[in-house]
Amino acid sequence: MGEDEQRTLVDRVAQALRENGLTVSVQAEAEAELESGQRRVWLRVSRDGNELAYTALVKRRLTPLSLVELLAQLRQPADAGGPLPLLLCEHVTAPLADQLREQQQPFADAAGNAFLEGGGLYVYVRGRKLHPKQLALRASSGFIATRLKVLFALICDAELAGAANREIAAAADVALDAMPAVIADLVRHGLLRVIDQQRFVDAGRRLLDEWAQAYALGLRGKTLSGRYLTPEFDHWRDWQLHPGHTRWGGEAAAALLLGEQLPAPPRPCVLTIYGDKLPARLVDEQRFEAASPAAYEGLVEVRKPFWGKSLAFDAQAETVAPALIYADLLATGKAQCIEMAEMIYNALLAERFPPA
């Protein structure tokens, strides 16, 4: 299974768990990779103050024959003190669910079936079936990306929720004919509410965090268009970006927005610039050179904007929207970035997206 397919399946299973009333946090490990070349994915599942932590083991199909081999694999000694493996599948039949529970093996699938036990939490759901039409739609990476773009537009401009589909599609830079399915999906999952035939965004931190986690897994990797090194890295505050073409994201954007709230601004690990392409003047002045795949420190990442030109942004702002800065910081998995993300939330997002 390719990395994009794994991301899509993890996203769908996480959403199915949320539909069971659980809070699910998904984090892809930013630096270490498995021997297969795939990044390790961590999940935290909680309800009523009880929480379980897992590493994801993704298997598209589970059969009685493959279950025996899989259970033997899972019985191998785990990392000392590390989270238990959580088996994530497309669908687990009722008999296989019973077997997994008997073997005390946690699992969850895209239909909402699951077995989770420990830390004061117990979940056992079996017998749910996948609906073929919904499966074909939600499994497609194109639908996942479109859904994420629409959600981002609504997060940036809540008034769009009540606008015509054509206006939302333009702001999100998605096809108009995809809008009915996306809107229906958002309503079904409680992210959009309909009152007296008027749509409203359910703007809480749950929405913001779910979008940030899904963006990291399902869209962020597709935005990267270039990686560069420059001897002028430490002088990034002197670089002249044109807001109409390029804007700061990630750590640099957070440092600019937080200002004096950062008593000793840390040196960024990565400088993130959103723009269709780097201006030739900037490349020449800052002496950019293409980075090798092995370079991970002192990098300049160029990422393509994934939103429409009509989305409401401050025309003179040096940075992308705070919600995107927040998501990019969390996606790094680095402690200093996660701390800055919390500061961005408290300073710029908490009023609009309050905790539950």
For residue 265, the 8-state DSSP code is P
**Coil vs helix vs strand at 249:** strand
Round to whole Å and give the CA distance between 199 and 197.
7
Give the pLDDT of residue 32: 37
Give the pLDDT of residue 30: 43
Q: What is the mean pLDDT of the chain?
A: 84
Phi-psi region of 190 (alpha: psi -120 to 50; beta: other; left: phi over 0): left
- Quick one: what percent of the chain has pLDDT higher than 70? 88
Residue in the block written with tokens 């950019």: 288
pLDDT tens readout for residues 79-103: 545 688 899 998 899 999 999 999 9
Residue 5's DSSP bridge partners are: none
- Quick one: what percent of the chain has pLDDT higher than 90? 40
What are the structure tokens assigned to 89, written together? Answer: 């599948």
**Coil vs helix vs strand at 9:** helix
Q: Are strands 270-275 and 299-303 parallel, antiparallel or unpaired?
A: parallel
**Contact, 126 vs 91, CB < 8 A?**
no
Give yes or no for residue 44 having a pLDDT over 50: yes
> How far, in Å, are 4, 210, 283 from residue 186 at the CA level?
22, 12, 41
Give yes or no for residue 182 having a pLDDT over 70: yes
Give yes or no for residue 216 having a pLDDT over 50: yes
Give the pLDDT of residue 141: 59
Report CA torsion sign: 45, 51, 53, 59.
Answer: negative
pLDDT tens readout for residues 140-180: 557 788 999 999 999 999 899 999 999 999 999 999 988 88
Averaged pLDDT for residues 49-59: 88
Q: Which residue has the higher pLDDT, 346 or 293?
A: 346
- In this prediction, residue 137 has a pLDDT band, given cuts at 50, 70 and 90, of very low
Report CA torsion sign: 226, 231, 237, 240.
Answer: negative
Give the pLDDT of residue 190: 80
Give the pLDDT of residue 4: 61
Q: Tell me, rounded to whole angstroms, the distance of Cα 316 from its chain centroid.
A: 27
Q: Which residue has the higher pLDDT, 194 or 328?
A: 328
- In this prediction, residue 39 has a pLDDT band, given cuts at 50, 70 and 90, of low
**Coil vs helix vs strand at 303:** strand
Give yes or no for residue 290 having a pLDDT over 80: yes
Give the pLDDT of residue 129: 85
- In this prediction, residue 36 has a pLDDT band, given cuts at 50, 70 and 90, of very low
Task: List the one residue out of 308, 12, 321, 234 whose CA is nearest residue 140.
Answer: 12
Domains and CATH numbers, the chain: 3-129 (no CATH), 140-203 (1.10.10), 224-349 (no CATH)
Give the pLDDT of residue 35: 41
